[in-house]
Amino acid sequence: MRLVLVALALALVAAPVQAQTKKTPARRPAPARKVPARPSAPVPLTRVPATLVCPSELGDGVTTKRRFCDVLTGLDPRAGVVITVPPHRGPVTLSFEVHNRHTYSAELVKKKQGYRRYTATIGVLLMDGTLIDRAVVDSEFRTERDLYDRVGGGAGPGGVKAVAPTGAEFVQFTLPEGTVEASVLGERLTVVRPDGTDQFTAPGRPVATISNVMLEYRPGPPPKKR
């Protein structure tokens, strides 16, 4: 009987010890939530005056202060108005105003013989000869009020040139991504006079003049550091 009581006492003593030594399983940390990356803001558009090489300068406008550059007929893009496109991403918008050219004569206007109607066709090309698109400017001249501006640097009254821009047509073209240079070339000019009509397509002839040449694009990434 004594042995049974001793065994029971030992069992009661060992039970709390086992309960105290039993380890509680460690809690696993909750998996970290993935925060979706925020989309980067689009690069804003930049609109700047274009850098261009003008093979035939008409001059600067007396009133508008614009630079007027003649557009010559031809097939070689290098012979046109060559526009440099800065580093960019995506397409580029090229825009400018195209004008007809008129040789002003106060005497013809006084005699009611100064009427002219001009229709000029020009094209914008890539340097490999790919045509982007064409533009047409059509305008009429009757009196000096029909001139868009007068050009300084001439021998006429007020120091202006006889040749002046008349009419204005705003045009824009989309240049593909990767374009480094583009060219503006003339195709043809039709002149209607009171006594007849003339057509001009021979290479090297100025058929129109352009001004306010602008580029709109998203700047390209900065150059990589070495």
In the predicted structure, residue 134 carries a pLDDT above the cut 90: yes
Q: What is the pLDDT of residues 207-225, one digit of tens each?
A: 999 999 999 999 987 556 5
When pLDDT is cut at 50, 70 and 90, the band that residue 40 belongs to is: low
In a domain, 9, yes or no: no
Read off the pLDDT of each residue in 7-12 and give the average, rounded to a whole number. Answer: 49
Q: What is the pLDDT of residues 162-201, one digit of tens each?
A: 999 999 999 999 999 999 999 999 999 999 999 999 999 9
Q: Which two tokens stand for residue 151?
A: 């050009």
In a domain, 76, yes or no: yes
The domain containing residue 64 runs over which residues? Answer: 46-217
In a domain, 154, yes or no: yes
When pLDDT is cut at 50, 70 and 90, the band that residue 89 belongs to is: very high
Beta bridge partners of 52: 83
Distance CA 186, CA 140 (A): 19
Phi (first) and psi of residue 5, to 5 degrees? -65, -40
Cα–Cα distances in angstroms (integers) from residue 164 to residues 33, 129, 221, in the given order: 70, 30, 42
Distance CA 111, CA 52 (A): 40
In a domain, 138, yes or no: yes
The identity of residue 134, as a single letter, is R
Cα–Cα distances in angstroms (integers) from residue 80 to residues 4, 30, 72, 141, 209, in the given order: 118, 68, 6, 26, 12
Phi (first) and psi of residue 98, to 5 degrees? -115, 135
In a domain, 109, yes or no: yes
In a domain, 169, yes or no: yes
Domain holding 63: CATH number?
A: 2.60.120
Q: In this structure, are residues 214 and 47 in contact, taking their beta carbons and an 8 Å threshold?
A: yes
Distance CA 43, CA 45 (A): 7
In a domain, 36, yes or no: no
In a domain, 31, yes or no: no
Q: In this structure, are residues 80 and 190 in contact, taking their beta carbons and an 8 Å threshold?
A: no
Q: How many domains does the chain have?
A: 1
The structure's pTM equals 0.79
